[in-house]
Homo-oligomer: A and B are copies of this chain.
Amino acid sequence: MLDKIVIVGVGLIGGSFALALKRAGQVREVVGIGRHPEALARALALGIIDRVCDDYADALNGADLVMLAAPVAQTGPILAALLPHLAPGTVVTDAGSTKCDVVAAARTVLGERVHQFVPGHPIAGSEANGPDAALAGLYQGKKAVLTPLPENAPGDVERVAAAWRACGAVMHQLTPEDHDRVFAAVSHLPHLLAYALVDDLAGKPHADMLFQYAASGFRDFTRIAGSSPEMWRDISLANQAALLTELDAYLAQLTAMRTMLAAGDGAGLHDIYANAQRARHEWQIAIEAGSTRAPIQENT
């Protein structure tokens, strides 16, 4: 049971965390703080938070846990703003989609107090944003990854993990480097590719005709291009090196397939398509099997 948590950025991710902890009866008071007064007022009206704070002194007073749920580029400035008011017993965590840059910012800003910061990333979301998109069940059965620091006390890591478990999440641990390498491939690259396609089509002279005939395949392929441009600009830059590695591999793959297509190499294309179909089918079976497993699974 947490006495007080602070949500910095009460949108889809922070708002869903608050709702889930409330539904589980695991928190007495949730306060919100952030850049957007209208979002905070809306979160208050929706019952996601109990109180809006205007300053970090008020927000952090007596807090057990602070959740940073803002675009990752704001991690440093937010930590700098809260540091003067950070009591020794308060644990800070985050929900950012990149971890190496977040850890670097935390070390720079927090210095020896970095032991109070436990980096995290819930593997759940939606292309929708804002407090109206928040759901108490968003994390139910989903993975939440922590990338603890050597300086973290085990009890502080456990405080964050316990909160995520109360939200229904399945806990995983990775190093920040492995985390960023993995998500560059399975999340950050697909976002960039989806944005690229929609922007490419929208710029063509016959864009209206194209969009008229776009159907369910296009809809699903481009769903993630409905995501926040600011958030994904920050993620792209924050994970620049790993994302460039994945993008270069993908460009090489596409270039090889272009050569096959230009040469009429149907066997070559068929091999790639069939391998992809098989791999995706196996992935889907594994994911579906995993979602029915026992909900606690620690990769330490």
A residues near B, CB below 8 A? Answer: 123-126, 142-143, 145, 172, 178, 181-183, 185-187, 189-202, 204, 206-207, 209-230, 232-234, 236-237, 240, 243-244, 247-251, 253-255, 257-258, 261-262, 264, 266, 269-270, 272-277, 279-281, 283-284, 286-287
Contact = CB atoms under 8 A, between A and B. Distances in A.
Given A190-B222, A194-B221, A251-B254, 18 more contacts: A123-B213, A124-B216, A125-B216, A126-B216, A143-B215, A182-B209, A193-B193, A195-B272, A196-B250, A198-B280, A199-B272, A199-B279, A201-B279, A211-B283, A211-B286, A247-B258, A251-B251, A251-B255
A283 B186 contact: no
Contact of A276 (B183, B194, B221): B194
A244 B230 contact: no
Contacts of A218: 186-187, 190
A276 B187 contact: no
A128 to B, nearest CB: 11
B193 A277 contact: no
For the residues of A in contact with B, the DSSP-based class is helix
A210 to B, nearest CB: 5
Nearest to A208: B286
Given A226-B277, A250-B196, A186 B202 contact: no
B279 A202 contact: yes
Contacts of A226: 277, 280-281, 284
B204 A270 contact: no
A273 B233 contact: yes
Contacts of A220: 220-221, 223-224
B261 A244 contact: yes
Contacts of A232: 269, 273
A237 B269 CA distance: 9
Nearest to A207: B279
A200 B273 contact: no
Contacts of A269: 232-233, 236-237
Nearest to A258: B247
* Top 3 A-B residue pairs of the complex, sorted by shortest distance between their CB atoms: A229-B273, A198-B276, A202-B279
Contact of A193 (B186, B216, B221, B249): B221
A196 B272 contact: yes
Given A225-B280, A277-B229, A280-B225, A182 B210 contact: yes
